[in-house]
C-alpha cells in the first residue's frame, strides 16, 4: 500500500478514473464519504472515525466532510 503514492483529500470533488484508482482510504479526521465505488464496493453516506482504513479496489470516491489519505493502486 502506498507504493504508487497517495493524495491528501479534503474537498468534495470526485476522485478516481480509468487511469487513477485507489487501494485504500484512511481517514485523518472524522469523515463522511458521500460515495465510494469499486470492485464489489458501492456505498453512500459512510461515516468513518479518524484513523479508520477502508481497503479494496476503489475506482472512485467523494467526501461530504472530513479528510482522507487516498492510496493509489499499483497498475
CATH of the domain at 24: 2.60.40
Model confidence over 37-63: pLDDT tens digits?
999 999 999 999 999 999 999 999 999
Residue 66 belongs to some domain of the structure: yes
* Confidence (pLDDT) at 3: 79
Decide if 1 is inside a domain.
no
Report yes or no: 35 and 59 within 8 Å, Cβ to Cβ: no
Tens of pLDDT, residues 10-31: 999 999 998 899 999 999 999 9
Q: Is residue 20 part of a domain?
A: yes
In this prediction, residue 2 carries a pLDDT of: 73
Query: Is residue 31 in a domain?
Result: yes
The total number of structural domains in the chain stands at 1
Could you please report the per-residue DSSP string of the chain?
--TT-EEEE-SS-EE--SS--EEEEEESSSEEEEEEEETTEEEEEEEE-TT-EEEEEEEEEEEEES-EEEEEPP-
Does residue 59 sit within a domain? Answer: yes
The residues, ordered by sequence, that sit 6+ positions from 53 with a Cβ below 8 Å of its Cβ are 24, 25, 26, 27
What is the domain extent for residue 20? 6-72
Instruction: Provide the whole-model pTM.
Output: 0.92
Amino acid at each position: 500500500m502506498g507504493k504508487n503514492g497517495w493524495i491528501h483529500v479534503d474537498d468534495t470533488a470526485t476522485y478516481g478514473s480509468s487511469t487513477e484508482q485507489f487501494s485504500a482510504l484512511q481517514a485523518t479526521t472524522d469523515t463522511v464519504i458521500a460515495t465510494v465505488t469499486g470492485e464489489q464496493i458501492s456505498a453512500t453516506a459512510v461515516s468513518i472515525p479518524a484513523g479508520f482504513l477502508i481497503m479494496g479496489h476503489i475506482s472512485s470516491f467523494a467526501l461530504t466532510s472530513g479528510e482522507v489519505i487516498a492510496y493509489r493502486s499499483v497498475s
